[in-house]
Amino acid sequence: MKTLYKNFFKRSSQVLIIIFSFFILSLFKPHLGIFYDKNSDKIKSIYTTEIGLYGDSQLMAGINSKTLNLNYNIINFSQSEIPLFFSIKKINKHLKLNNDLKIIIDLGSNNLTPNNLLHWSESNNISFQEHISNNYYYLSLKDYSFFLKSSLRFSIQAILKGIFKIKGVFYNDLFVFNKKQLSEDYIKKIDINILTKYILNNKSSEFSNENFELDILIELFERNNNNHFLILHPPEINIFSDIFNNQNKFDSISKVLKNFDNITVLNYRDSITELKYYNDLAHLNKIGRDKFTQMLISNQKFKDFANK
């Protein structure tokens, strides 16, 4: 019996050592610096990229990377539903790899309140694990502690799944809405109270500080005051912005950011109002994406930022 226990302990120890070794090796995946940007259909190096775009599906669907890459060396690192927290952590790592990288950050209405996906629950288990799996190599020990406290089992499970994953670190999704257009009839059928409850349920009440992610964002700017940042509020249909009702927060943040010489703020929230340019309440369709991209590249503030 003692021999059996001894062999079991030995085998278990060997398995744990192997898993831990793969985990340590996987932390170096971002350092390879290779990234396939599906939006521009190009394989690029993070080390030589000029501009990185960081946000969620609003920026994935709202920016035509192929058009931007005609004049600039850009990678769109955005991921669907990604909380601002993970985008900031990714930016931290990329700036260490490429100190000349200029950063564009998506700060739409849905990014101005802490995201529920940062805390585990039965309802968001899949998304919770997905974002940890795709981004754990950007996290600090303090961050690991944060997620392990939320759910020890599912955080470890997410990391183990992520060891052999390449999504997020080596490529991103292609996110383009080609045909659908919003209609007045669709808008009229929306029960704004039900929709508001559904969307705000995805925003976390677990944080005592509702500016949790925004505080980390300010810390990012303070730590990297020699780098150039562009804060971008993408176009949104009015009903979507009204649900979150946090435009005053964006205005307040903009005032704070004016104290930073290295930060440019562009608010395109109300720049596209016609329904024909939207796929749904949160995303531009293809013609909306192309329209917004042209608006952006013709903006002198954007040109000044991109050419610094």
Average the pLDDT over each of 45-54, 107-116, 200-209 and give the range with the smallest value: 200-209
Query: What's the whole-number mean pLDDT along residues 29-52?
Result: 89
Number of Cβ within 10 Å of residue 9's Cβ equals 10
**Given a cut of 60, is residue 157 above it in pLDDT?**
yes
**Given a cut of 80, is residue 18 above it in pLDDT?**
yes
Query: What's the whole-number mean pLDDT along residues 293-305?
Result: 96
For residue 217, give both structure tokens: 């964002």
The pLDDT score that the predictor gives to residue 32 is 92
Query: What's the whole-number mean pLDDT along residues 135-147?
Result: 93
Q: Is residue 11 part of a domain?
A: no
Query: What's the whole-number mean pLDDT along residues 173-189?
Result: 71
Query: What's the whole-number mean pLDDT along residues 94-104?
Result: 97
The pLDDT score that the predictor gives to residue 193 is 62
pLDDT tier for residue 226 given thresholds of 50, 70 and 90: very high
How many Å is the Cα radius of gyration of the chain? 21
Query: What's the whole-number mean pLDDT along residues 58-86?
Result: 90
CB 62 within 8 A of CB 284: yes
Q: Supply the DSSP symbol for 36.
A: E
Number of Cβ within 10 Å of residue 235's Cβ equals 25
- Burial class, 275, CB count within 10 angstroms (exposed 0-12 / middle 13-18 / buried 19+): middle
Gap between the Cα atoms of 128 and 126, Å rounded: 5
Residue with more model confidence, 115 or 140: 140
Gap between the Cα atoms of 218 and 241, Å rounded: 23
Query: What's the whole-number mean pLDDT along residues 94-115?
Result: 90
Q: Is residue 150 part of a domain?
A: no
Q: Is residue 147 part of a domain?
A: no
Task: Could you list the beta-strand ranges (E) of the chain.
Answer: 34-37, 42-45, 51-54, 74-76, 102-106, 229-233, 263-267
Q: Is residue 290 part of a domain?
A: yes
Gap between the Cα atoms of 276 and 183, Å rounded: 7
The pLDDT score that the predictor gives to residue 159 is 95
Task: Provide the percentage of residues in the chain whose pLDDT is more than 70.
Answer: 88
The pLDDT score that the predictor gives to residue 237 is 87
Sheet arrangement for strand 102-106: 74-76, 51-54, 102-106, 229-233, 263-267
Angle CA 283–34–307, to nearest 5:
65
Q: Is residue 135 part of a domain?
A: no
**Given a cut of 90, is residue 116 above it in pLDDT?**
no
Q: What is the CATH number of the domain that holds 188?
A: 3.40.50.1110
The structural domain count of the chain equals 1
Site of tokens 């952590």: 89
Gap between the Cα atoms of 256 and 126, Å rounded: 36
Gap between the Cα atoms of 215 and 211, Å rounded: 6
Gap between the Cα atoms of 128 and 294, Å rounded: 35
In terms of residue numbers, what domain contains 38?
33-119+166-306
Q: Is residue 141 part of a domain?
A: no
Residue with more model confidence, 275 or 120: 275
